[in-house]
Structure formats: C-alpha cells, structure tokens
C-alpha cells in the first residue's frame, strides 16, 4: 500500500500547500528525512516525500533545531538552506516564518509538536518545532509575535495546525518541566498536566493550544491532529519509543506560488 503524506483539513480547504511525511517501511530507513540515517538515505527520502507533497525540495528551508525559541524570518535568498546538506541550514532555529511565495518551510519532529501557521491577511506561513523546551519557552507565541509585529498579521485571522506528536497519554516528564511551564504559562496552564501515580504527564497539544489562544488565535481556527506518535510508532517516528536512533518526520508548509482565489 502506498503511504501518502498526512494533511490537515483546514489548510487543505484553504488551498495551502503543506503536509507531513511519515514512517514508510517500503523506503530506506523507514522513510526518515533526518540526516542521522545518513546523507544518501535522507536525500532519497526527502526527494520521495517532496514529490508527493508537490513542493520543490531545492527551495525548501530547514533550520538547525536546538529545542530553543529562536524564530527566523526567511527570505528568497534563503531558498534551499539545509535541504540538500545539513551545513547550510539556518543555525539554532526552531521556527521559520516567510511571506515569500513558493518557498516551503519545514520542521522535523520525532515526538515534538510540529505547528503550522497560516496568516491569510499578509499572506504568510510559519513552521514551528515545539517540544517541552520550546513549549515552556513559548515558541508558538514568539512565532506569532513575529507574524504580527514584523509582517502585520492579525491574530484573529490566523489558522494553526498541530501535527502528530507524543500525546498526553504517554509524555511523562519531571518536576523541572512542570516548574518551567507554570512559571511561563498563560491562564489555565495547569490544564496541560495530569498525573500517573507519582509522575506528571505533560499535554503538548493543550499547552500549545493555550499559547495560541493567548496570542489571539480563535479556538475554531486551531486544528489538532490528536495522533500520539508513541502509541502509533509503527506509523510515525517516536523518540520515546525508539530512542536516539529514531528517525524523524517533517512538517512542511508554503504559500502557493500564485495567489489563492
């Protein structure tokens, strides 16, 4: 059976080119796009998935993700950075924003939450990598601040999509995560935690939803895939399930080369 990229209902209806790669046993390295599998494997899989996505790999922009909160505005001159070799990726960056048409942005994840944003009024798009460190550093909020302050986006018009990632069913964390989140969290931040015996479970979906709401995104404009990568590790790469040798999936978004509508 041919495995297709995962796509969000909202972004598809709006005609925004996007999608997520996934685990595919028929591909080298199960379809991972991470350089950890080796350059030849990563490139072969990237070319496969980007062809399915209908997007140009050679123009796609990657950041070198460090679980931080830096947001980079991507320009036409950045086209292709990190796509064909790791050394050219934008350094120390976990969120990318662009108002350039036909310039795909990507984040790679293996349990962390990929967040895709679309600002129809600019227009502009963003791709955000949010694990617990990025989430507690409010990276989703920072990305929206860039869209608003630098590109003039109106938060109430933003669309947000949270992709498959580790769910609240499986994401056990320590006290330091609880403390960092509650120090920075918006109102009702405690809703992002539950308990299992003596351990905390952190809900990356709810925590980032709360951040999006805090930034002014309307609740009906937030789509959450609700797929746990650890529970469904046969379909998705999961660090918690496979350890450091886990591969990674990519979440990609772009403005259409021509204006929608």
Q: What are phi and psi of 52, to 5 degrees?
A: -65, -35
**pTM to 2 decimal places:** 0.97
Residue 186's pLDDT is what? 87
Q: Is residue 195 part of a domain?
A: no
Residue 26's pLDDT is what? 96
Query: How many separate domains does the chain show?
Result: 1
Helix (H, G, I), strand (E, B) or coil at 242: helix
Q: Is residue 182 part of a domain?
A: no
Residue 209's pLDDT is what? 98
Euclidean distance between CA atoms 49 and 47, whole angstroms: 6
Residue 197's pLDDT is what? 81
Per residue in 199-252, pLDDT (tens digit) is 899 999 999 999 999 999 999 999 999 999 999 999 999 999 988 888 999 999
State the virtual CA torsion across 91, 92, 95, 99 in degrees, nearest 10.
-30
Task: Report yes or no: 17 and 55 within 8 Å, Cβ to Cβ.
Answer: yes
Contacts of 1 (CB under 8 A, 6+ apart): none
Range of the domain at 139: 9-166+218-253
The 3-class SS string of 88-141 reads HCECCCCEEEECCECCCEEEEECCCEEEEEEECCCCEEEEEEECHHHHHCCHHH
Q: Is residue 153 part of a domain?
A: yes
User: What's the order of all strands across the beta sheet hosting 172-173?
Assistant: 172-173, 199-202, 193-196
* pLDDT block averages, 10 residues each, the chain of length 261: 93 98 97 95 98 98 98 98 97 98 97 98 98 97 98 98 97 94 91 88 98 98 98 96 91 86 50
Whether residue 65 is preceded by a cis peptide bond, meaning omega within 30 degrees of 0, is no
Going 26 to 162 to 122 to 120, the CA torsion angle's sign is: positive
Euclidean distance between CA atoms 19 and 5, whole angstroms: 6
Euclidean distance between CA atoms 80 and 96, whole angstroms: 13
Q: Measured in whole angstroms, how far is the alpha carbon of residue 182 from the centre of its chain?
A: 23
Residue 198's pLDDT is what? 80
Q: Is residue 190 part of a domain?
A: no
Q: Is residue 125 part of a domain?
A: yes
Residue 195's pLDDT is what? 85
Euclidean distance between CA atoms 20 and 108, whole angstroms: 9
Q: Is residue 171 part of a domain?
A: no
CATH number at residue 232: 3.60.140.10
Task: Report yes or no: 207 and 178 within 8 Å, Cβ to Cβ.
Answer: no
- Tell me the two tokens of residue 216: 């002014």
Residue 2's pLDDT is what? 82
Q: Is residue 77 part of a domain?
A: yes
Q: Is residue 260 part of a domain?
A: no
Q: What are phi and psi of 128, to 5 degrees?
A: -125, 135
């Amino acid at each position: 059976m041919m495995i297709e990229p995962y796509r969000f209902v909202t972004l598809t209806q709006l005609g925004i080119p996007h999608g997520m790669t996934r685990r595919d046993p028929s591909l080298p390295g199960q379809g991972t796009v991470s350089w950890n599998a080796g350059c030849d494997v990563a490139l072969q899989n990237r070319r496969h998935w980007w062809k399915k996505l209908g997007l140009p790999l050679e123009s796609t922009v990657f950041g070198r993700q460090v679980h931080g909160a830096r947001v980079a505005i991507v320009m036409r001159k950045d086209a292709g950075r990190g796509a064909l070799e790791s050394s050219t990726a934008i350094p120390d960056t976990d969120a990318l924003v662009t108002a350039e048409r036909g310039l795909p942005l990507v984040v790679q994840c293996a349990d962390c939450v990929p967040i895709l944003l679309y600002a129809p009024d600019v227009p502009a798009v963003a791709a955000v990598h949010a694990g617990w460190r990025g989430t507690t550093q409010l990276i989703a909020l920072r990305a929206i601040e860039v869209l608003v302050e630098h590109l003039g986006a109106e938060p109430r018009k933003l669309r947000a999509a949270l992709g498959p990632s580790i769910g609240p069913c499986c994401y056990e964390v320590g006290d330091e995560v609880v403390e960092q989140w509650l120090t920075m969290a918006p109102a009702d931040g405690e809703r992002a935690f539950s308990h299992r015996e003596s351990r905390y479970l952190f809900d990356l979906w709810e925590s980032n939803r709360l951040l999006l709401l805090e930034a002014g995104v309307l609740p009906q404009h937030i789509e959450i895939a609700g797929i746990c990568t650890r529970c469904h590790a046969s379909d998705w790469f999961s660090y918690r399930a496979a350890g450091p040798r886990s591969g990674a999936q990519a979440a990609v978004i772009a403005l259409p080369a021509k204006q929608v509508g």
